[in-house]
C-alpha cells in the first residue's frame, strides 16, 4: 500500500497552481500505486447578479470545468485519478479541512509562494491544524527525490516523521538521513567551557537516540544519526545549511516536538525562501 493513498491539492487560481500540479505529476510518476488525487478551490466571494448574468453557467461550475482542463494539461496520464471540488466558504482553511474529511485524504498539498504574487493558501494555522501531513511545495521546487532528511528531537511526532521517511525510502529506494541538532543552553554562556559542554551534550544526544530507537517501533531499519552542534545558529538555519550542503531533496519534519521547539522549526522551514519541498507530519 502506498504511504499516501489519497492526495488533496489546494489551489488558488494563480500561476502557482501550474507549478504545484506539475510537481504533483512528478510525485505520482515517481511513487508506486495510483493514489486518488483531489483538487480543491474555495470561492470566498460571491459575484453580484450582474456579473453572474455574464457567465454561461454558475461560477462554481465554471471554476470546476476550468480546473478539470488544467488537470488534463498539467497531470497528463493521471486524469482518471482526479476529482475536482469547488467550495464556497468564508474561510478557505475551514473549506480545506472539510474537504480533507470528505475525501479521506492522507496528504494535503499546498503551494509555497516565493516569487509569485500573493501569500498563497498556506499559513501557520493551516500547517498546525491540518489533521494529515502537509506537503509544502515552492514554485521552484526541483523534481528530485534522491535524498530525504528527517530531523528528530526524539519526540513522538518526530518518530512519526521518521516512519514516513522510512516508508518513502522503501518505496523510492533512495537515500535517507536522520539528523539531530543540539545546542548548549545559552543561559550557561559564558560560565562553562564550551568544548567540554559540547562533548557532554553530544554524549547525551547519542544516548537519547538509542533510547528513541528502543521506545518507538519502526517498520524498516533506521540509519545512523548525524549529530550537529548548532552553535550560535538557530535550528532552522542549521537544518537549511545542512540540507543544502548534503543536496537534500525533501525535508520531513514533525509538526510538534517535545516542546514548541520542533513545531517552531516546521513553521520556520515553511517560511524560508528556499526551493526545497517540506513534508510536515
pLDDT confidence of residue 234? 87
pLDDT confidence of residue 244? 94
Entry pTM = 0.89
| Parts of the chain with a pLDDT under 70 | 1, 45-56, 114-123, 185-197, 257-263
Sketch out the chain's domains with CATH numbers: 6-138 (3.40.50.620), 147-275 (3.40.50.620)
pLDDT confidence of residue 232? 77
pLDDT confidence of residue 188? 55
Q: What angle do CA 153, 156, 161 make, to 5 degrees?
A: 75
Pairing of strands 278-280, 134-138: antiparallel
Q: What angle do CA 158, 164, 165 make, to 5 degrees?
A: 85
Q: 212: closest CA among 174, 242, 254?
A: 254
What span, in angstroms and rounded, lies between the C-alpha atoms of 185 and 204? 14
What span, in angstroms and rounded, lies between the C-alpha atoms of 181 and 190? 21
pLDDT confidence of residue 265? 85
- Residue 110: count other Cβ atoms within 10 Å of its Cβ: 26
Q: Quick one: how far is CA 198 from the chain centroid?
A: 31
Calculate Rg over the CA atoms of the chain.
21
Residue 150 and residue 205 in contact, taking contact as beta carbons nearer than 8 Å? no
Amino acid at each position: 500500500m502506498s504511504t499516501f493513498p489519497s492526495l488533496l491539492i489546494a489551489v488558488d487560481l494563480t500561476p502557482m497552481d501550474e507549478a504545484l500540479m506539475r510537481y504533483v505529476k512528478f510525485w505520482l510518476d515517481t511513487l508506486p500505486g495510483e493514489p486518488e488525487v483531489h483538487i480543491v478551490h474555495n470561492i470566498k466571494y460571491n459575484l453580484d447578479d450582474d456579473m453572474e448574468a455574464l457567465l454561461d453557467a454558475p461560477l462554481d461550475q465554471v471554476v470546476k470545468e476550468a480546473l478539470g482542463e488544467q488537470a488534463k494539461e498539467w497531470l497528463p496520464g493521471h486524469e482518471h485519478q482526479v476529482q475536482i471540488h469547488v467550495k464556497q466558504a468564508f474561510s478557505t482553511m475551514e473549506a480545506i479541512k472539510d474537504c480533507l474529511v470528505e475525501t479521506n485524504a492522507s496528504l494535503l498539498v499546498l503551494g509555497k509562494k516565493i516569487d509569485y504574487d500573493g501569500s498563497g493558501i498556506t499559513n501557520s494555522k493551516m500547517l498546525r491544524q491540518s489533521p494529515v501531513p502537509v506537503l509544502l511545495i515552492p514554485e521552484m521546487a526541483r523534481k528530485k527525490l534522491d535524498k530525504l532528511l528527517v530531523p528528530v528531537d526524539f519526540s513522538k511526532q518526530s518518530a512519526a516523521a521518521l516512519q514516513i521517511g522510512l516508508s518513502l525510502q522503501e518505496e523510492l529506494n533512495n537515500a535517507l538521513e536522520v539528523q539531530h541538532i543540539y545546542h548548549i543552553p545559552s543561559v550557561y554562556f559564558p560560565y562553562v567551557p564550551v568544548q567540554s559542554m559540547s562533548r557532554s551534550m553530544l554524549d547525551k544526544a547519542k544516548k537519547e537516540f538509542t533510547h528513541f530507537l528502543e521506545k518507538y517501533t519502526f517498520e524498516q531499519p533506521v540509519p545512523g544519526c548525524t549529530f550537529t552542534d548548532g552553535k550560535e545558529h538557530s535550528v532552522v538555519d542549521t537544518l537549511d545549511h545542512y540540507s543544502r550542503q548534503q543536496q537534500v531533496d525533501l525535508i520531513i519534519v514533525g509538526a510538534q516536538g517535545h516542546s514548541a521547539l520542533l513545531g517552531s522549526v516546521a513553521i520556520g522551514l515553511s517560511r524560508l525562501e528556499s526551493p526545497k519541498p517540506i513534508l510536515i507530519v
